[in-house]
Amino acid sequence: MRNTGPDRVLVVDDEKTNRRVLGDLLKEDHTVLLARDGEQALRQAAGDPPPDLILLDVLMPDMDGYEVLRRLKADVDTSHIPVMFVTGLTDEADEQKGLDLGAVDYVSKPFRPAVIRARVRNQLELKHHRAELLQAEKMAALAHLVAGVAHEINTPVGTTLTAASHILDQTGALERQLADGSLRRSDLRAYLESVRDAAELVQSNTNRTASLIGSFREVAVDQTQDERRGFDLCAYLHEAGDSLRPRLERAGHAIRVACDETIPCDSYPAALFRILSHLVDNATAHAYAEGEAGTLAIAGRRVDDGTAEIVFSDTGCGMDAGDRERAFEPFYTNRRGEGHSGLGLHIVFNLVTRILGGSVGLHSTPGEGTTVRLRLPTTVDAGAGRG
Ligand SMILES: Nc1ncnc2c1ncn2[C@@H]1O[C@H](COP(=O)(O)OP(=O)(O)OP(=O)(O)O)[C@@H](O)[C@H]1O
Ligand SMILES: [Mg+2]
């Protein structure tokens, strides 16, 4: 949504005169913030609310403008703020470098005031359009999710209602027969049979409804139940493998865990277990034909001091491009009507990105199995885990 107050423009320049000239030029239409070096600029950029646009000089002592931009881009809290270079450097190579680093515009000094004003205005307009688009996309995704929930829940609730009405009708008829003395033993037998069938339907459909509600709650990544704690990833993967094994062996599959280094983590192991569980469920449900035996593998390794990688793979049928591209979408399944609602991988995505603060990649080719690669910070930042 569009801010109602004036836009905040941060002007970063080590020369007082330049700061004043730019400040005077912009203060009529915008709130101007000033910074005289890189450190100050980064501090102001991290403020709340953050600036809507940064005008950045390149040549400054201590930290030059390119470095300031690099640091802004490296921090998730500031990476979205558009940065425009306003600099005495006029070389094409300098301009190229600034734009390659992610600046939205590059203006050489001396500049014409009207031009600077117009370019600032354009960048702010663009920023607002982007924010509006993002908001519209979020609303559309939410509507899609709500429609999916309603659609999924509709069938079991409808069946439950029909079965319960049937029990009531049959019971009413039986009561009337009892009252008028027409009840025969065969009527009672027929009644018992039909009520038992209907009650079984009520039970199975209510179970299905409850399990759907469980999945919907998982989509909302209600992590309050998860405990954050220190653990060794390698030992944890072996334990997870051991507890998933019985379920797999019953289906005729084997699971191997490969991880032989110590990887100390401070994170949410229960979320990691739920992720592995969904991946195992998918391999058993989708990767192999009835009666076909498969091998699943979980491999863990340290990528660098702060990052671990977990690779989950199966040797099954793989996915075609259509399935692969949509696999993480909520409610995407090619097994609807067989007890699958298409939420498993969406839940995996939410758990990885929102609870564990990591990323997930899917590699799958028809006939060559499926690989899911997780990159996870070994220490979850304080910001993650709040959903
Ligand atoms: N290991 C796999 N091998 C082959 N296809 C897979 C694999 N994992 C997922 N898929 C495909 O991706 C789709 C989406 O998976 P997802 O876990 O989101 O939903 P689902 O398993 O169909 O339903 P649910 O998880 O709600 O039971 C599946 O329907 C299937 O087509
Ligand atoms: Mg699934």
Q: Looking at residue 360, which CATH number applies to its domain?
A: 3.30.565.10
Please count the structural domains in the chain.
3
pLDDT number for residue 384: 54
Distances (CA, A) of 278 to 182, 310, 372: 56, 14, 11
The residue-averaged pLDDT of 349-357 equals: 92
Centre of ligand 2 from the C-alpha of residue 349, in Å: 12
Based on the domain organization, do 191 and 262 belong to the same domain? Answer: no
Q: How far apart are CA 44 and CA 322, in angstroms?
A: 45
Question: Is it the case that residue 387 has pLDDT exceeding 50?
Answer: no
Asked if 104 and 82 count as a contact pair (C-beta separation under 8 A), the reply is: yes
Question: Per residue in 133-157, pLDDT tens?
Answer: 988 988 888 888 888 889 989 999 9
Based on the domain organization, do 231 and 214 belong to the same domain? Answer: no
Residue 132 in domain: no
312 lines ligand 1 (CB under 6 A): no
Centre of ligand 1 from the C-alpha of residue 205, in Å: 22
CATH of the domain at 17: 3.40.50.2300
Based on the domain organization, do 269 and 182 belong to the same domain? Answer: no
Centre of ligand 1 from the C-alpha of residue 195, in Å: 36
Question: Per residue in 206-219, pLDDT tens?
Answer: 999 999 898 888 88
Q: In terms of residue numbers, what domain contains 87?
A: 8-111
Atom of ligand 1 nearest to the CA of 287: 3
Q: Which one of 216, 333, 373 would you pick to mutate in the ligand 1 pocket, going by the greatest count of ligand atoms within 8 A of its CB?
A: 333
Based on the domain organization, do 277 and 362 belong to the same domain? Answer: yes
Based on the domain organization, do 237 and 347 belong to the same domain? Answer: yes
Question: Per residue in 246-284, pLDDT tens?
Answer: 999 999 999 999 999 999 999 999 999 999 999 999 999
Based on the domain organization, do 210 and 235 belong to the same domain? Answer: no
Centre of ligand 2 from the C-alpha of residue 306, in Å: 30
Strand-pairing partners, residue 311, are 299, 373
pLDDT number for residue 142: 84
Instruction: Name the domain boundary from 167, 191, 219.
Output: 219
225 vs 47, which has greater pLDDT?
47
Residue 3 in domain: no
344 lines ligand 1 (CB under 6 A): yes
Q: How far apart are CA 306 and CA 338, in angstroms?
A: 41
Instruction: Name the domain boundary from 175, 194, 219.
Output: 219
The residue-averaged pLDDT of 62-76 equals: 94
pLDDT number for residue 309: 97
Based on the domain organization, do 179 and 238 belong to the same domain? Answer: no
Q: How far apart are CA 51 and CA 46, in angstroms?
A: 9
Centre of ligand 1 from the C-alpha of residue 51, in Å: 42
Q: Which residue's C-alpha comes closest to atom 13 of ligand 1?
A: 333
Based on the domain organization, do 194 and 234 belong to the same domain? Answer: no
From the CB of residue 318, how many other CB atoms can be counted at a distance below 10 Å? 19
pTM score, two decimals? 0.70
Identify the helix (H) or strand (E) that includes residue 208: helix 185-219
The residue-averaged pLDDT of 64-82 equals: 93
The two tokens of residue 252 are 């005729």
The residue-averaged pLDDT of 333-354 equals: 90
pLDDT number for residue 76: 82
Instruction: Name the domain boundary from 188, 219, 250.
Output: 219
288 lines ligand 1 (CB under 6 A): no
Based on the domain organization, do 284 and 329 belong to the same domain? Answer: yes
- Look over the chain and give the mean of its residue pLDDT values, rounded to a whole number: 92
Based on the domain organization, do 254 and 341 belong to the same domain? Answer: yes
Based on the domain organization, do 176 and 61 belong to the same domain? Answer: no
Ligand approaching nearest to the C-alpha of 342: 1
